[in-house]
Amino acid sequence: MNPSRAAIAIAAMAVGALSLLPFAYLFAAGMSTEAIGKLFTYPTTAGDIIRTVGLTLSVSAVCVVVGVGAALLLVRTTIPFRKLLTVLLAMPLAIPGFVAAYAAYSANLMFAPRTNIVTTFAGATAIIALTLYPYVFLAGIVAVRNLDPAQEEVARSLGTRPVAVFWRITVPQLRPAIASSVLIVALHVLAEYGAMVQLRQRTLTTTIMANMLDYGDYEAARSLSLLLAGLAFVLLVGGRLLTGRAHRQSIGSQTVRPPTRARLGRAHLAVLVAALVVPLLALGPTVYMTIHGLTSPHRQLVVNWAEVLQAARVSLTYAVWAGLLASVVALPVAWWVSRHPSPWSNLTERSVWLAHAIPGAILALALVFLATRLLPGLYKTPSLLVIAYVILYLPLAVANQRVGLHAALTKYDEAAASLGSGAWQRLRRVSLPIALPGLATGALLVGLDASKELTTTLMLLPFNTQTLATGLWATTNGESLDFTAASPYAVMLLALGSIPVYLIMRRTVRYIV
Amino acid sequence: MSRSGLRLRVTTAIAGAVALLTVTAGCSSSPSSEPGATGSDAATTLTVYTDQHAALVKGLTGAYTKQTGVTFDIQQDATVGQIQAEGDASPADLFLSEDPAPVAQLGKAGLLEPIEASTVAQVQPGLSSPQDLWVAYAARARVLYYNPELIDEADLPKTLLTITDPQYKGKFAYAPSGAFVATTQYLISTIGLDASTDFLKKVKANGVNEQKNGNVRDTVEAGKHAMGLSNHYYWWIKAAEVGGPEHMTSKIYHFPETDPGNLVLSSGAAILKNSTHKDAAAKFVQWLTSKDGGQQILSSGDIDTSGAQYPVALGTSSELVGALSDIASPTYDMSIYADQSQAQDLLKSLGITT
């Protein structure tokens, strides 16, 4: 192993170890298997665990169907208004999950007060999936565009029916490409708190939070977090087995031709309307409730726009720092695992994902515990909060950097090496520029998620500071979202969130036109 | 794309990020200091940990800053867990709780500095820690909301324990919030574990768990349920949202006799043993509980600063929600909330919460 490769490996392993640091807290602060054992004596526990697993699977499944379906529609058919549709379909990324859930719940109460639509398992699945499918959609567009049409053509020319071509050629090629995004969705579901409570779904995470907030039973909360981490571990290992290895057999040149688009003919309008239903359902309740709140005739509260703008500036600053720092920290991990796959590099990459699955409040407590003991100077400074965001959202950076590094084919790297170029030089002059779009997407997604984060932020935020998410939360009095007082913050969150969504989509849109 | 073009884009991206950071760097907040304030406390900054409504704490501390020049560092949504995780390094001088449980737990853990007896004496008896470990500065009452379009006031249950009677089956909502856990702990300590278990079993069978007090309010208001067990102030917050109590469909009902359904829960102020500003903290708590100090703000009709809570100083009453002395709550020792494991076990084993 040459020295620079060793340096990258060591850096990557250090990052992996650091992201496991929150788990050190779980052990240091004390846990008990007794608490876990006791949990199983309660009648609802089995149901809650089944519901946790069920929601994880159902939301992931809906996200795959909607995300990949939308990507296929935009890349492989002649559907009109493709640019507009792409941006609309990605926009739900800008809405925090708990806000979307509150809005859906409020809309349910407003229009059908005596029905339970959003609080059923199916309703909750739909609401949560509608906030998360864009992750799969984004990866799906790139993956569908990179499909080699030659393989499908060969299969068809051999007499294979279109449906069989889809299942036997198209799907296996897509699977590894969207695997990371599905994992991101699944881990989001496992750690989701606010939306689950509002949609009346009891999961392991809501149980952990109830133990913390309603009972002050932190030992039980920590013990259950370990159980949750175990579940995430199974998911991470299982996810790998399920997706298998990336295999790209290509026919002829490496360049992928533009796709052949299925003609929709007279179905144009019907398909367009059907495609519009998804963003309408995902954005509609939040936008409607926000506008309703802002234009309420009984409005008595005076909006302090200076405070809202200040919160927006704070959110933006933290988000930019989190995006940049996460990108730097993720790079050795992404590089190592995509260039030198080995059990060690894979293990390192997986450990980065694990912290993504524990509830934000537990991660925050871990950082409170560790920072006050190890780095007291950092406590209650923006730095510690940015570090928390980096630990939480590192997988988003790693996953997207891998896509970018995948595009920067090893061949180019080898060609440069054969011309005598050193490792750092190759990284700087060959791979990095080609991988830049993937890197940028990763940074933007980290920044976006950081600006929406609530539970960790509440605990680690410097004194007397608000982000848009905590400012919005402060208007709830810890209970139901009052869309009158909250709407200025919601408007700013949406406005701020649509910037990274637009930047990401600007890159992606060229895949579909 | 040419290499120079690529390099240009890399440079542009980095330059853009740097520019953004420069623009936003201004918000590395500088502690606000009120000009014009004088006195020996003027330079003091008190660190307040609180899980009370943000606007209420902001109103109270803001008024104190104006009068004395003492400034505040405020940790919103604070938990006992955060203070314990911080250990000896905790910067907290004070804890202002929403419910009695957090301050009772801090007191039991030996983390609190006792409050001066003269301060506790400003407050109506029975609301603060009997050992003076914390003092009540506000209070909330458990109430029953009802929707007159669905049920007549005359038909409402006369006591909390009769809400499980057959005629109310399927007609009421509840939420296993902190106040509900407290009510459960109170019931266990008064009517015993068996009777409490019996009652809660029927609550689960006959009522609808709406998970949050805000949801209980909204569902009763929307006519999904005829009645709902909740806290008094959620209704007032909604009333302010829609333009006043006259625009509300639902109404607040207090059980007619002294009853656990009218249970009063104190919001407590406590001084941490670790505090490095104990004297300044004690002065603030004295002001907070004084009729001419913090209690004035709680008494005002302005819901944004009073949070529609009850003031607790002797002889005070709220222009909005009335006097706490009018609430027929049982008198009891709120230290029982230092350990709620019995309530926790009961609610969990019945599957009401997890």
B153 alpha-carbon distance from chain centroid: 28
The rounded mean pLDDT for chain B is 87
**What is the per-residue pLDDT for A306?**
87
Q: What tokens does A420 get?
A: 């005598």
Q: Does A215 touch chain B (CB under 8 A)?
A: yes
Determine the average pLDDT of the residues in B299-320: 88
| pLDDT score of A434 more than 80 | no
What tokens does A334 get?
Answer: 């992404």
What percent of chain A lies above the pLDDT cut of 70? 92
Name the region of B329 (left: φ>0; alpha: ψ -120 to 50; beta: rest).
beta
Q: pLDDT > 70: what percent of chain B?
A: 88
d(CA A320, CA B18): 10
Confidence tier at B47 by pLDDT (50, 70, 90):
very high
Q: What is the mean pLDDT of chain A?
A: 83
Over range B33-40, report the average pLDDT: 44
Across the interface, whether the CB atoms of A215 and B243 are under 8 A apart is answered: no
Q: Are A331 and A401 in contact (CB under 8 A)?
A: yes
Q: Does B286 touch chain A (CB under 8 A)?
A: no
Judged by a CB distance cut-off of 8 A, whether residue B328 touches chain A is: no
CA separation for the pair A178, A336 (Å, rounded): 20
Is A458 an 8 Å CB contact of chain B?
A: yes
Residue A210, chain B, CB below 8 Å: the answer is yes
Predicted local distance difference test score (pLDDT) of residue A207: 87
- What's the CA gap between A143 and A445, in Å, rounded? 18
Of A483-487, A492-496, B15-19, B300-304, which one has max mean pLDDT?
A492-496
> From the CA of A200, how many Å to the nearest CA of chain B?
7
HSE, CB side, 13 Å, CA atoms: give it for residue A264. 16
Where are chain A's structural domains? 16-248+263-509
Q: Is the pLDDT confidence value at B70 over 70?
A: yes
Q: What is the DSSP string of A386-435?
A: HHHHHHHHHHHHHHHHHHHHHHS-HHHHHHHHHTT--HHHHIIIIIHHHH
Q: What is the pLDDT of residue B40?
A: 54
In the predicted structure, residue B352 carries a pLDDT above the cut 90: no
* Residues A22, A363 contacting (CB under 8 angstroms): yes
A450 CA: distance to closest CA in chain B (Å): 16
Question: Any idea what the Cα angle at residue B340 is, between residues B339 and B346, rounded to 5°?
Answer: 145
Lowest mean pLDDT among A347-356, A402-411, B3-12, B28-37: B28-37
List the 469-488 stretch of A: residues with Cβ below 8 A of B. Answer: 470, 473-480, 482, 484-485
Of B105, B214, B223, the CB nearest to A479: B214
Of A344, A348, A339, A455, nearest to A395 (Cα)?
A348
- Is residue B121 over pLDDT 70? yes
CA B149 to chain centre: 30
Query: Which residues, including other chains, have CB under 8 Å from residue A506's CB and lie 6 or more apart?
Result: none
pLDDT-based confidence at residue A347 (cuts at 50, 70, 90): confident
For the beta carbon of residue A37, count every other beta carbon within 10 angstroms.
10
Indicate the domain borders of chain B: 46-139+264-335, 141-262+339-349
Q: Would the pLDDT of B25 be above 60?
A: no
> What CA–CA distance (Å, rounded) separates A472 from B210?
22
Distance separating alpha carbons of residues B173 and B229, to the nearest angstrom = 6
> CATH 1.10.600.10: does it fit domain A16-248+263-509?
no
Pairing mode, strands B227-231 and B172-174: parallel
Query: What distance in Å separates residue A127's CA from the closest CA in chain B?
Result: 18
The residue ranking higher by pLDDT, B61 or A240, is: B61
Query: Which of A118, A120, A214, A426 should one mutate to test binding to chain B, selecting the residue with the greatest count of B CBs within 10 A?
Result: A214
Select from A384, A477, A484 the residue whose CB has the most chain B CBs within 10 Å, as the one to mutate to test that interface.
Answer: A477
Per-residue model confidence as pLDDT tens digits over A82-128: 888 888 999 998 888 888 998 898 888 888 877 888 889 999 999 99
Residue B253 has pLDDT above 90, yes or no: yes
Nearest to B65 by CA among B91, B86, B46, B92: B46
Write the pLDDT tens digit of every residue in A272-329: 888 899 999 999 999 988 888 877 766 555 677 888 899 999 999 999 999 999 999 9
More confident site: B236 or A242: B236
Q: Sorting pLDDT into bands at 50, 70 and 90, what band is B13? A: low
- Main-chain phi, psi angles of A83, to 5 degrees: -65, -50
Least confident of A21-25, A397-401, B268-272: A21-25
Asked if residue B2 has pLDDT above 80, the reply is: no
Measured between CA atoms, the residue of chain A closest to residue B210 is A200
Give residue A275's pLDDT. Answer: 87
The CATH code belonging to domain B46-139+264-335 is: 3.40.190.10
SS3 state at A304:
coil
Q: How far apart are CA B269 and CA B64, in angstroms?
A: 15
**Top-confidence residue, B109 or A411:** B109
For residue A200, the chain B residue with the least C-alpha distance is: B211
Q: Where residue A416 falls among pLDDT bands split at 50, 70, 90?
A: confident
Closest residue in A to B49 (Cα) is: A463
* pLDDT of B29 over the 50 cut: no
The pLDDT confidence band at residue B134, using thresholds 50, 70 and 90, is very high
Mean pLDDT of B235-259: 91
Q: Check B244 against A206: CB less than 8 A apart.
A: no
A141-157, pLDDT tens digit by residue?
877 877 777 777 777 77
CB distance B351–A43 less than 8 Å? yes
Q: Does B210 touch chain A (CB under 8 A)?
A: yes
Does residue B167 have a pLDDT over 80?
yes
Answer whether A32 touches B (CB < 8 Å).
Answer: no
> Which of A97-111, A354-368, B27-41, B179-193 has maximum average pLDDT?
B179-193
B81, B178, B304 member nearest A365 (Cβ): B81
Q: Which residue's entry shows tokens 């660190």?
A: B47
Contact assignment for A485 to B13 by CB distance below 8 Å? no
DSSP A13-30: HHHHHHHTHHHHHHHHS-
Please determine whether the domains at B46-139+264-335 and B141-262+339-349 fall in the same fold group of CATH.
yes
Is the distance from CB of B71 to CB of B41 less than 8 angstroms?
no
Sign of the torsion formed by the C-alpha atoms of B342, B347, B351 and B354 = negative
User: 């296993």: which residue's tokens?
Assistant: B176
Question: B196 or A213: whose pLDDT is higher?
Answer: B196
Residues 6 or more apart whose CB falls under 8 angstroms from that of A502 comprise: A87
Higher pLDDT, A302 or A450: A450
Q: Which of A100-104, B69-73, B113-117 has the lowest mean pLDDT?
A: A100-104
Quote the pLDDT of residue A31.
74
CATH 3.40.190.10 fits B141-262+339-349, yes or no: yes
For residue B252, name the pLDDT band (cuts at 50, 70, 90). Answer: very high
Judge: A320–B79 Cβ closer than 8 Å, yes or no: no
Closest CA to A457 of A323, A325, A318: A318
ipTM: 0.83
Record: contact A214-B72, CB cut-off 8 A: no
Q: Which pLDDT score, from 0 to 100, does residue A251 have?
A: 43
